[in-house]
Amino acid sequence: MIRRNRMFKDVQDILVSLLQSKTTSAPWNRWDIIAGYPNETVFDVFEKPIIFVADPSIEEKIYQQGASQKNYKLNVRIGSWVSIQNGGGEELAIMISELLNLFDDPYTCNRLTFDTQIGNTTYTAKTIKQLGFSIIGIQLDRLISYPEDSQLRQDVNLIAMTNLS
Amino acid sequence: MAEKKHVWVDTSKWDLKCFRVRAAVADAISRTLDWALPEVRKKVLENVEAPGSPYPLVTGPRGGRYRQRGPQTNAGTLPVPIVWGQLRRSIMMKRISSQIGVVYSSGRIANYNIYVHYGTRKMRPRPFVEAAGKERRPAVTNRFKYEIQKAARKHGLA
* pLDDT tens digits, one per residue of A9-50: 999 999 999 999 999 998 999 999 999 999 888 888 888 999
- Cα A105-A108-A109 angle, rounded to 5 deg: 80
Residue B98: CB atoms within 10 Å: 12
- What's A36's DSSP letter? S
Residue B61 lies in a domain: no
Nearest CA in chain B to A150: B121
In total, how many domains does chain A have?
1
Amino acid (one-letter) located at B39: E
Q: Do B118 and A146 touch (CB under 8 A)?
A: no
Q: Given B114, B115, B125, which is nearest A37 (Cβ)?
A: B125
Q: What is the largest CA-CA distance in chain B?
A: 86
Q: Which residues contact B85 (CB under 8 A, 6 or more apart)?
A: B49
So what's the pLDDT on residue B78? 81
pLDDT at B5: 79
* CA-CA-CA-CA torsion sign (B120, A60, B139, B100): positive
The residues with which A134 forms a beta bridge, in sequence order, are: A161
DSSP structural state of residue B109: T
CATH code at A52?
3.30.70
Q: Which residue of A has its CA nearest to B126?
A: A37
How far is Cα A34 from Cα A21, in angstroms, rounded to an integer? Answer: 13
pTM of the model: 0.83
What domain range includes position B146? 15-53+77-154
Residue B35, in any domain of the structure: yes
Under-50 pLDDT residues of chain B:
none
Of A57, A142, A149, the CB nearest to B121: A149
Question: How far does B135 lie from chain A, in Å, by closest CA?
Answer: 9
Q: What is the pLDDT of residue B71?
A: 55
Beta strand pairing status for A32-35 and A50-53? parallel
Helices B14-48 and B128-154, packing angle to 10 deg: 150
Ranges in chain A, pLDDT < 50: none
Q: Which domain holds residue A87?
A: 4-162
Which residues have a Cβ under 8 Å from the Cβ of A39 and sit 6 or more positions away? none
Closest CA in chain A for residue B114: A144
Minimal C-alpha gap between A59 and chain B (Å): 7
Smallest CA–CA distance from B116 into chain A, residue: A144
Structural domain contains residue B65: no
Interface contact flag, A151 B121, Cβ < 8 Å = yes
Q: Is residue B68 part of a domain?
A: no
**Nearest CA distance, B114 vs chain A (angstrom):** 8
Q: Are B124 and A37 in contact (CB < 8 Å)?
A: yes
The answer to whether position B142 is within a domain reads yes
**Residue numbers in B near A57 (CB within 8 A):** 134
Please indicate if any CB of chain A lies within 8 Å of the CB of B76: yes
List CB contacts (< 8 A) between A60 and chain B.
137
Cβ of residue B120 closer than 8 Å to a chain A Cβ = yes
Number of structural domains in chain B: 1
DSSP state of A87: T
For residues A8 and B115, give the distance between their C-alpha atoms in angstroms, rounded to a whole number: 25
User: How large is the ipTM?
Assistant: 0.87
Cβ separation A59–B120 shorter than 8 A:
no
| CB–CB contact A146 B76 (8 Å) | no
Q: Are B141 and B134 in contact (CB under 8 A)?
A: no
